[in-house]
Structure formats: structure tokens, C-alpha cells
């Protein structure tokens, strides 16, 4: 089974959600729908997949198939069907047949998952496929047969052939399905399963569906919760997007929050998360051409942890890829650069992302100007502060015609000396000369080119 690496220290989030699921599950007559809310790109889909994995890994071996039957439904992947119930059944059918579903962490969990899928297949999926398709499902190619087919290359071709047949079968779905009969069959199938175990239905990416389809999914799921006990439906949603969807369908006069109460009992808000060592390890390639050449007293990882958490996970990945691309283009000779360059690049990207003027970034607290303070990045970094001030100065001179009027335009020597005084650094003149020779002439030119190229890659 796929391993879901935690990059954002989500352990507490997972524990909180599992604790809620466990408490609700103990009251078997309870059926609840709740939502995990988060902004676009914050890792909701990752959390849902990790949650499914964790639930199976903590199953009760004394119950056939475990105490939970965990189902995943992504309506956006199936919204080319007009009826969400059809999408749900076909999604579950694919989950039953998914080859990689059988690779569990150990034989015990593998058997538990397999047993659970057998129950799902026999009680719900295949009986309903008989009424929604003109093509009879081949019982010889049920979950029992598939357990062995993938094991050899000889049968892998047969598996691929069957999957192509399944795709063609979708084209033969009966367009005249009795919706009431379909709902009835689904409810009967779910009730058979929930006699012995709690069904956890994870509904992901609802807010990506077309507005009318999103509402239809909510209504169908609500109907299930009204007729089946021991069922928990967990949605991942972007609240703002769902609110817009509701207004598009019902008009601006409707109150989305009140409307959603019909379908969602409560919500858990997913915060951006804290970057951990896994994230650093996964992005080590960005450090390949950097080393401590002129600087040696600050930790580059602080920049990752301080700046990047303010950007959602999907955008972080895009930002880092762009930084790597730009640096590889500018550093054609594959030379080693000082870590402070990467440090400032991250600060610049932060400015671009939030549309902050470089002039409004300050390493010192300023009550009068209310500058954005990033002092954690400058602690014990006497090299970095004047470096950034130099960059600001350089932009004030180079880009006045590009809307940078009003930047501080004091001489470089003045800026450096003033900053070093504030930092109580001795030998100011010596540092000033070193900065002008080693950094201003080389590194700042590199960074200015970085700015131009990075911005040119914006969509």
C-alpha cells in the first residue's frame, strides 16, 4: 500500500479525527456527517488518505473485516455521471478491485482489508451493478479471483484486459435507472454491512465539482444518513468555495452556513500545519549548489520553517520547483553559492507571493512604519541584514521606472554601517569593504537576475 509521508506534523490532527470517529462508533445507532475544512492546497486529500490507512491499521481482528469498513469517494472524478449514486457505486467497485489495495503493512491487516472488501462487494457493489448495467458482472472475476491474478506477469495482461472491459462497460450503463429503486438497494446493502461494523465514507474534493453536482452529492449523502445507522460521512471542503457554490445554485439571498447545517453536523478546521524534517529531507535537492562560503552562523532550515508555512502545501511545491529551475538556469557552471543567497531568495519569493513591497520587510521592529518584521530570520546573522538592505537599495536604484519609487536610496556604505551599528558589530569599515567586494558585485547581481527570471515564470 502507498506510504503517506507526513510533511506538516499532522499527527495531532489525525489523532483528533480518529478519536471523534471512535467515540461516535461506540454509539452504533448514531449516523453523523462532519467536515474537515481547509484552504486550497493545504493537504486535505493527503489527510483523508492517511486517515483511511490509519483506520485499517488499528482494526479489531476479532471482527470479520475489522470494525470499520472504510470507503473513499471522490465525486469530482466521476462527475461526468449525472447521478451521484451511480458515481458512488462505480467508485466503490473500483476500490473493491484496486490491485494496490491489497498491499497492507502486514498479512493480518491485508486479510482484514480483503475480508472487508469481500463484504462490500457481495452485499452492496455487485448486487447494484446488476440493476444499473446492461452488462452482467462476471462473477468469476470477483475480488476472490483478483487476489491471485496480479501475482504473476502471465495474468497481469488478463487484469489489464479486464480493466479495459470495465471502462467499456461504463458506456453501457442503463440511462433509465429508477432512482428510488437504486437508493433502496444501496440502503439495503449498507444496512447489511453496518450490522457488524461502522462504515466510514470519506468524500473528497466535493468543492471541485460543478455547483449543481456538488449540491446533488450532499443531498444524496444526506438521504443515506437518514436511512442507515452506524454510518459516518466525512467531507473535505474549502468552506469559501462551498459557500460560493450554494449561492450560485440558490441565489445570493440564501445563507450558506445555515444551508450546510442540513448536511454537516460539525466541522474540524485544518490549519496550514508545521513543516517538519520530512519536508526538509524531501526537498534536499534545493541545497545541492549551496554551502557556507561567506556566512556560517545561521540555519537555512529556519527559512523553510518560518517562511514556507505561510504558503499552502501545493504552492510550496510550485515555489520550490521554480526556485530550483531559476537557480539551475542562472548557475550554468554549477558553481557553489553561499547559503545566504538561497536565504534571500526565499524571502523574495515570500514578498512576491503575498505582494509585499521589498521596502516593507525589516529585520528590526518599527513602531512608526509598522514594517513586517522577520527578526527570527536575522538572529545572530550580521551578514544577512545588510545583505537584504543592499538588495533593497539595489532595487530602489535599478527599478525606479518599474514602480519602486520611494525606496530608501542612501549609499550602500551608509546602509551597511547603519545596520551593523544596530547589530553592535565591530570593525564596521572592514565589514563594509567585504560586503561591497564579495556580495554586492557578485551575489546581488545574481539575485537581481533571479528576481527578473522568477517573475517572468509567473502564470
DSSP letter string over 309-377? GGS-HHHHHHHHHHHHHHHHHH-TT---EEHHHHHHHHHHHHHHHTT--GGGEESS--TTTTPEE-GGG
Strand partners, 267: 35
How far is residue 378's CA from residue 393's CA, in Å, rounded to a whole number? 18
327 neighbors 289 (Cβ within 8 angstroms): yes
Greatest Cα-to-Cα distance within the chain, rounded to the nearest angstrom: 86
141: which DSSP letter?
A: G
Q: Residues 120-123: contacts with CB within 8 Å, 24+ apart?
A: 120/69, 120/71, 120/92, 120/95, 120/96, 120/193, 121/96, 123/189, 123/192, 123/193
State how beta strands 361-362 and 198-203 pair: unpaired
Long-range contacts of 158-161 (CB under 8 A, 24+ apart): 159/99
| Helix ranges (DSSP H) in 233-312 | 239-250, 256-260, 277-282, 300-307
**For residue 16, how many other CB atoms are within 10 A of its CB?**
12
Q: What's residue 94's pLDDT?
A: 75
Q: Helix, strand or coil for residue 295?
A: coil
Per-residue exposure over 74-104, b if at least 16 CB sit within 10 Å of its own CB, e if not: bbbebbebebbbbbbbbbbbbbbbeeebbeb
Rounded Cα distance between 189 and 419, Å, is: 72
Number of residues that make up the chain: 459
Closest CA to 233 of 247, 246, 222: 222
Report in angstroms the alpha-carbon separations of 76 from 42, 169, 211, 212, 240.
Answer: 18, 20, 11, 12, 17
Cell matching residue 245: 457554490
Residue 62 vs residues 59, 241, 294, 422: alpha-carbon distances, Å:
9, 42, 63, 68
> How many beta carbons lie within 10 A of that of residue 279, not counting itself?
23
Decide if 120 contacts 92 (C-beta within 8 A).
yes
Cβ atoms of 213 and 21 within 8 Å: the answer is no
d(CA 358, CA 185) in angstroms, rounded, equals: 62
- Structural domains of the chain, ranges and CATH numbers in brackets: 11-269 (3.40.50.300), 277-456 (no CATH)
pLDDT along the chain (459 residues), means of 10: 57 84 84 86 79 74 65 84 80 65 48 62 65 41 36 48 55 56 82 86 88 90 88 90 90 89 88 68 78 62 62 76 87 81 75 64 42 40 48 42 37 41 40 48 72 74
pLDDT for the residue numbered 45 = 81
pLDDT of residue 425: 37
Please name the helix (run of DSSP H) or strand (run of DSSP E) that holds residue 32, with its range, or none: strand 32-37
Supply φ then ψ for residue 134, to 5 degrees. Answer: -75, -20
Cell numbers 472475476: residue: 141
Round to whole Å and give the CA distance between 419 and 425: 9
Predicted model pTM: 0.60
Question: Which residues share a beta bridge with 37?
Answer: 237, 269
Burial of 196 (0-12, 13-18, 19+ CB in 10 A): middle
Amino acid at each position: 500500500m502507498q506510504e503517506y509521508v507526513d510533511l506538516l506534523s499532522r499527527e495531532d490532527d489525525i489523532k483528533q479525527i480518529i478519536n471523534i470517529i471512535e467515540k461516535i462508533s461506540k454509539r452504533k445507532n448514531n449516523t453523523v456527517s462532519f467536515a474537515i475544512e481547509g484552504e486550497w492546497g493545504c493537504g486535505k486529500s493527503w489527510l483523508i488518505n492517511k486517515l483511511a490507512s490509519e483506520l485499517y491499521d488499528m482494526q479489531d481482528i476479532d471482527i470479520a473485516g475489522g470494525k470499520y469498513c472504510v470507503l473513499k469517494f471522490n465525486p469530482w472524478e466521476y462527475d461526468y455521471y449525472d447521478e451521484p449514486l451511480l458515481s458512488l457505486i462505480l467508485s466503490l467497485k473500483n476500490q473493491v478491485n484496486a490491485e494496490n489495495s491489497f498491499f497492507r503493512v502486514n498479512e493480518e491487516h491485508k486479510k482484514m482489508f480483503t475480508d472487508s472488501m469481500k463484504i462490500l462487494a457481495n452485499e452492496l457493489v455487485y448486487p447494484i451493478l446488476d440493476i444499473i448495467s446492461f452488462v452482467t458482472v462476471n462473477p468469476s472475476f470477483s475480488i476472490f479471483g483478483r487476489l491471485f491474478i496480479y501475482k504473476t506477469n502471465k495474468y497481469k495482461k488478463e487484469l489489464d484486459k479486464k480493466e479495459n472491459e470495465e471502462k467499456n462497460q461504463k458506456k453501457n450503463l442503463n440511462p433509465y435507472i429508477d432512482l428510488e429503486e437504486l437508493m433502496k438497494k444501496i440502503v439495503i446493502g449498507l444496512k447489511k454491512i453496518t450490522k457488524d461494523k461502522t462504515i466510514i465514507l470519506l468524500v473528497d474534493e466535493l468543492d471541485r465539482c460543478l455547483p449543481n453536482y456538488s449540491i446533488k452529492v450532499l443531498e444524496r449523502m444526506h438521504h443515506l444518513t437518514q436511512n442507515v445507522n452506524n454510518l459516518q460521512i466525512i467531507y473535505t471542503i474549502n468552506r469559501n468555495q462551498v459557500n460560493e457554490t450554494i449561492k450560485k445554485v440558490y441565489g445570493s439571498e440564501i445563507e450558506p452556513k445555515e444551508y450546510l447545517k442540513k448536511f454537516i453536523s460539525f466541522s474540524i478546521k485544518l490549519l496550514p500545519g508545521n513543516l517538519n524534517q520530512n519536508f526538509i529531507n524531501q526537498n534536499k535537492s534545493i541545497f545541492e549548489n549551496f554551502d557556507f562560503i561567506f556566512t556560517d552562523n545561521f540555519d537555512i532550515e529556519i527559512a523553510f520553517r518560518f517562511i514556507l508555512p505561510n504558503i499552502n502545501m501545493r504552492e510550496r511545491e510550485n515555489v520550490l520547483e521554480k526556485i530550483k529551475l531559476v537557480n539551475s538556469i542562472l548557475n550554468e557552471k554549477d558553481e557553489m553559492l553561499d547559503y545566504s543567497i538561497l536565504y534571500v531568495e526565499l524571502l523574495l519569493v515570500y514578498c512576491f507571493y503575498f505582494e509585499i513591497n521589498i521596502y516593507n520587510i525589516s529585520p528590526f521592529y518599527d513602531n512608526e512604519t509598522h514594517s513586517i518584521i522577520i527578526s527570527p530570520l536575522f538572529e545572530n546573522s550580521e551578514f544577512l541584514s545588510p545583505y537584504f538592505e543592499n538588495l533593497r537599495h539595489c532595487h530602489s536604484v535599478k527599478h525606479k521606472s518599474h514602480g519602486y519609487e520611494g525606496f530608501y536610496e542612501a549609499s550602500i556604505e551608509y546602509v551597511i554601517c547603519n545596520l551593523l551599528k544596530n547589530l553592535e558589530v565591530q570593525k564596521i569599515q572592514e565589514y563594509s569593504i567585504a560586503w561591497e567586494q564579495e556580495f554586492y558585485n557578485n551575489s546581488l547581481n545574481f539575485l537581481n537576475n533571479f528576481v527578473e527570471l522568477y517573475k517572468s515564470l509567473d502564470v
